[in-house]
Structure 1
Amino acid sequence: MPRIFTLLASISIALGTIAPGSAAAQAFKSTIRIVVPQAPGGGTDLVARIVAPGLSSELKQTVIVENRPGASGQVGTQLVKNAPPDGTTILLAVDHSLIIVPLTVPGVRYNVQSDFVPLGQAVRTYWTLIIPPNADYKDFKGYVAAIRKEPNARSYGVPLAGGATKAIGEAVGKYAGVGLVEVPFHGSAPLLQNVLAGQVPAGMTGMPEAIAAHRSGKARVIAVSGSARTQLLPDVPTFKELGVDGLEFRTFVGFFAPKGLPSAMAQQFNAALRKTLADPAVQQKITQLALQPAPTTLEEASREVGEMAAFWKTALASPQ
């Protein structure tokens, strides 16, 4: 009997040792590629590069950032959808490319809820309406008066076509009783250059790109999306405050894996991400970009994606 107990104890100890090792072996085993479906230098790209070292440290693997821009985020997003669900290829994307593009562009071959596994939100941000520094109008009231009076003032630049910017343009145009014309640029940088130079009467872009220009006086932010004023621009009213309805939305930037990623790997990545985002140095770098760190659990991330998908499906359902 003693020998039997000894044997059973040995087996138990061995199983206890092997099981965790086996779980780890099923986790991240090689270099992790974070695909950003936007060009280098933008907000999403910078977030990826800020969190990559922390993820690398927590997951014990090399983490590289790879930019795959094109077709409003479709190129990089489709690449990740088609990648094997083994943890080697992860997407960091905004809701526009994941949710809005499939609802507005014919032929898009992915769906955020059926083709991807949400791994956690990284940051949250809002949209802004900006005007040139030398514009005759200085605030939203003046801008509305200008577009009502002058047809040449009714165009607005955007970093990408459709989605949030189109929703803002249509809501502001409806409020003013005029039709506005969307002018797409290839990213926020050329958009801002044209707004600052007064080449377009107004622009709609994300807060990270607009806030530096606003603070330096090179451009003026006259309204922001969201349900309440942001602490980053406490002097700027929301569209809701100004009487423009339907623009209380926000933008999330989150990590996604191809459908089929093992649950244990999703949990491990999410834990690594939340720990990275809890680092004060990481938080400081993110807030310096005018972004809000917004870590979530897997369940919270999935719920956020579902809510945003439902919001945009309803918001974009009316005929354009």
Structure 2
Amino acid sequence: MTSRLVRLSAAFTVGLVLAFASFVAPSVADDDAYPSRPITVIVPFPPGGSSDIIMRIASQKASEILKQPIIIENRPGGAGNVAAVVIKHATPDGYLLMMGHTGTHAVNPSLYTNLAFDPVKDFQPVVPLISFNNILLVPADSPAKSVKDLVALAKSKPEGLSYGSQGIGTGGHLLGELLAKHAGIKLLHVPYRGIAPAVTDAVAGRVDMIFSSYISSAGYIESGKLRMLATSGTVRHPRIPDVPTMAESGYPDVHMEQWFGLFAPAGTPRPIVDKLNAAYVASLNSDAVKDRVVPQVATVIPGTPEDLEAMMKRDIVRLGKVVKESGAQVPQ
């Protein structure tokens, strides 16, 4: 009887091991075979913008490395929240990803009430992609030739100065809040529905200043209709080496590098994340990508998933504080 029990026990154990192996093996094999079909990356902006273009450039090279098409799907709406909710509920298999950014994954948690996703819990960071700095711009006929001049001008007016942005909670808005706080000046925020009308009104002098990306204002800058006073980065950009940083202008706390990164749904297997990361890092390090990014006064920032996670968590705290101090709130 004892011998028979031993044989039965051994048979049961072997059967259990084989059953477990058959359950696990397809998952491992799937990870090894990834990708076996096209990958879709959702971009939370309309087609044709600088971020959309850069995502397409970086994905083209990554597609060659992964030997599968990478399809860019534009899904704007809700300041990126629409796209984020889609990824939150997506299958974590590496075939549906999102280009997230400072707004969606760092600012929106503080800006929106009842946000339908958690940027830390609902996403798996994959790779940091690019960053860009906003530029402090004034109309050509403004008496301010430097940040020092602009601050003095604001202090000379009881009502202060006005500044435009592409909307509440955007980089341009928060940089204005930081400048007002650290320079001790009054700034009236005028939010627009997009950057184009804000830039147009800055050129016309209907607002006194604006923080804008270079690419959104390039035509007016190059024609002399807008004057660059400083960038919001920590170092000067090689494309505009004569433009000082806000730190060099006396305001080291008025800085923001707006980053973009690739995110997958939480629970995506690490081997898949690593394959995606390696492909995009190689793409971002290629001259073909760098040569398209640098002229837009942007910077490639290839790194690890942990690098992107650290950037996100840092800005959730830092920019969340700025949002709360500004009193800005948007119902979700």
TM-score normalised by the chain length of structure 2: 0.82
Most deviating of 136-145 and 196-205: 136-145
Q: Does 1:236 align with 2:243?
A: yes
| Offset of residue 119 of structure 1 | 0.7
Q: What is aligned with 2:13?
A: none
**In structure 2, how many angstroms separate the alpha carbons of the residues matched to 1:178 and 1:298?**
39
Q: Distance in 1 between matches of 2:220 and 2:127?
A: 30
What is the number of residues matched between the two proteins? 303
Residue of 269, 275, 281 corresponding to 1:274: 281
Residues 99-178 of structure 1 correspond to what in structure 2 (within 5 A)?
99-150=106-157, 154-178=161-185
Question: 2:31–2:269: 8 Å Cα contact kept in structure 1?
Answer: no
**Paired residue for 1:184?**
191
Partner of 1:3: none
Alpha-carbon separation, structure 1, partners of 2:77 and 2:218: 25
2:216 to 205, 209, 231: 209
The answer (yes or no) to whether the contact 1:208–1:291 under 8 Å persists in 2 is no
Q: Is 1:297 aligned to 2:297, yes or no?
A: no
Per-residue CA deviations over 1:100-141 (Å, capped at 9, x if unaligned) read 011122121222211111110111111221111232333323
For the pair shown, the structure with the greater C-alpha radius of gyration is 2
5+ long unaligned stretches in structure 2: 1-24, 328-332
Of 261-270 and 245-254, more deviation after overlay is shown by 245-254
State which of 83, 99, 105 in structure 1 corresponds to 2:90: 83
> Which piece of structure 1 moves more, 157-166 or 38-47?
157-166
1:175–1:304 Cα change, 3 Å: closer
Separation in structure 2 between the aligned mates of residue 24 and residue 88 of structure 1, nearest angstrom: 12
Match of 2:72 in 1: 65
Matches of 2:289 and 2:94, distance apart in 1? 23
Rate the CA distance shift 1:80–1:268 in 2: closer, same or farther, 3 A: same
- Please tell me whether the aligned partners of residues 159 and 187 of structure 1 are also in contact (alpha carbons under 8 angstroms): yes
Please state how far the C-alpha of 1:153 moved relative to its aligned partner. Answer: 6.2
Q: Matched residue of 2:302: which SS? A: coil
Q: When the two structures are superposed, what TM-score results if normalisation uses the length of structure 1?
A: 0.85
Deviation at 1:315, TM superposition (A): 4.2
The alignment-based identity, stated in percent, is 28
**Structure-2 change in CA distance of 1:171 and 1:21 (3 Å):** closer
**Matched ranges for 1:5-84 at <5 A:** 22-23=29-30, 26-84=33-91
Matched with 2:206 is 199
- Pairwise CA RMSD: 2.5
| Cα drift, residue 286 of structure 1 | 1.2
C-alpha deviation, 1:155, in angstroms:
1.7
Deviation at 1:275, TM superposition (A): 1.3
Once the two structures are superposed, what CA deviation does each residue of 1:232-261 show, in whole Å capped at 9, x if it has no partner? 322222222222242233121110011111
Gaps of 5+ in 1: 1-17
SS at match of 1:29: coil
